[in-house]
Structures are given as C-alpha cells and as structure tokens.
Amino acid sequence: MVNFKKMKYLVIFIIFCFPFFSCTGEDSLKEQARIYREEGYKLQEMGDPERALVCYQKAVQIDPYYAEAYNDLGVVYENLDDEGKALRMYEKALETAPQHLPAYTNLAFFYENKGDIEKASYYWEKRYELGVEGEYWKEVARQHLLRLGTYPQIKREILEKAAVELSRELVYSREQKRLKAIEEAKLRFDIGSRLFLKEDYQGALKEFETAFSLNPDSEKLKAKLDDFYKKAKIASSREEAIASTTEVLNCITETLNYIKNNDFHTARKKLEEASSTISRISLEE
C-alpha cells in the first residue's frame, strides 16, 4: 500500500533540494571551465598554442557562455593564421557578453591589420565608448580613432579636455597667487603689529603700507590692517607733534638766553628756526 503522506514529504524534499544540487553542479562546471582556461593561458604564454587551443575548447564546451575563453580562442586562432575561426570566436565572445571589452579591442586590431578602416573604426568606437575614463585601453582606442580620422568627436573631446586643463591651471595659478598675497600680507601685518607695540610707529606704518600694496583678498585681514594703520598714523603724528613742539620750545629758550646776552643776531636766527618748525607742523596737519 502506497504511503501518500511519505510521498508528499519526498516530493517537497526534491522540490526544495533540486535547485541546490542544480546550482552546486553549475558552479562546479564553471570552476572546471575556469581551470581549463587558466591552463590554456599558461600554455599560450609558454609558446604552445596548439595545446592551449585544446584547453580553451574544453572550457567553452563545459561553459558555452564563457566569453573570456571565446576571446582567448580568437587570439590563438589569429596567431595560427586561421582568420576565419579567429573572427568567429571574437564575435562569439560578444554574442555571449556584449560588454566584453577585450573582444572589441581584438576585432578593432583584426580589421585594422586587414586595412578595413570602416569596421576597425566601428570596434574602436565601441571600445572607446564602453571604456572608463583614464583606463589604458580607452586611451589606446582614442589614439587609434584620432589616427584613423573617422571619429571627429575625439578631436573635439581632446580640444575640450585641453581647454579644461588650461582653465584648471589658470585657476590654480590665480589661487596660488591669491594665497601667497594673503600670506605675505599677514606676515607684514604681524611685523607691523609688533613694531606698533614697541612704539616704532614709523616702522609699523611701512609694514602696513606694504601689506596694503599686496591687495590681499581677505576682508578680515584688510579690516585689521586699516584699524592698526589708523592707530599707528595717529600715534606717529602725535609723536612728531611732541618732538616738533619740544624743538620749538628749545629754540625759544635758547632765543631768550641769547637776548639776555645781547646776542640779538643769533636770537633772531633761533626765532626763525622756531617759526620754520611751527610752519612745518601746520603744513603737515
């Protein structure tokens, strides 16, 4: 008598386990195909294309969607001067994996060597368009298209890239000059500030003026410079006024002494000096 309950569980077990066994078997086959491909590559590198060919053929027999192995077969057939089979293998690689970039490169070289510029250009264009900027083979494709002269966009891109690079260099140069001016102005400001604190107002003014002449692109720095410059200017004027006034008083004192000694000629000269000093102060104001 058939135990339907046990049959039910057996069916469920098979349904759930079959995908596992299927995936495991598929992975195992792909791994075997990969091993054959690696062995073929080693033989090819050793200069044994015939044995390499056998390994690559086994790889695609095991995994019919192995684009890399089809491309390798194309390279070996081309080296063996079997252009027909080489072409079919390159095309087969792209049929199984349209994004397999080495096949586009090999087809571009294949047709360029045959002198078929139109087809060579087509595959170089595809290789260029599918490549990543900065990648070696994208640059190779760019250079071939430029040399073949069949892809005007390349020239335009090169000119645009050159323009961008030039613009970037100019911006960088201007930025470096701007930062250099700010740093130099900061240095002059720091020196001037220290001189100001030491009451060397003339020296401070010279440093601040030099900082202003650099025209630093910093509003904060300019505000500080303006503030300290005004303070130094006031302090310097005050210092000069005190010195000039002291000079006038000394002249007057000397004039009185000369008058007391009846030396009116020298007294007159001292008065003239005092008058000249007073006039100078008036003009500076």
**CB-count burial class (<10 Å; 0-12, 13-18, 19+) for 156:** exposed
Q: Residue 5 pLDDT more than 60? A: no
Mean pLDDT rounded to a whole number for the chain: 83
128: pLDDT confidence band, cut at 50, 70 and 90? Answer: very high
Looking at residue 25, its pLDDT comes to 61
Check residue 11 and give its pLDDT: 41
* pLDDT tens digits for range 205-255: 898 889 888 888 888 888 888 898 888 888 887 877 777 778 777 878 877
Sign (positive or negative) of CA dihedral 255, 261, 263, 264: positive
DSSP 81-139: T-HHHHHHHHHHHHHH-TT-HHHHHHHHHHHHHHT-HHHHHHHHHHHHHHSPTT-HHHH
Q: How much of the chain, in percent, has pLDDT values that exceed 90? A: 39
User: Rounded mean pLDDT of 39-63?
Assistant: 95
Who has greater pLDDT, 163 or 95?
95
Helix axes 49-62, 67-79, angle to 10 degrees: 150
Question: Number of C-alpha atoms within 13 angstroms, CB side, residue 262?
Answer: 0
pLDDT in tens, 60-97: 999 999 999 999 999 999 999 999 999 999 999 999 99
For the segment 109-117, the average pLDDT, to the nearest whole number, is: 94
Residues 6+ apart with CB under 8 A from 188: 207, 208, 210, 211, 214
Residue 124 has pLDDT above 80, yes or no: yes
- Total H helices, total E strands in the chain: 11, 0
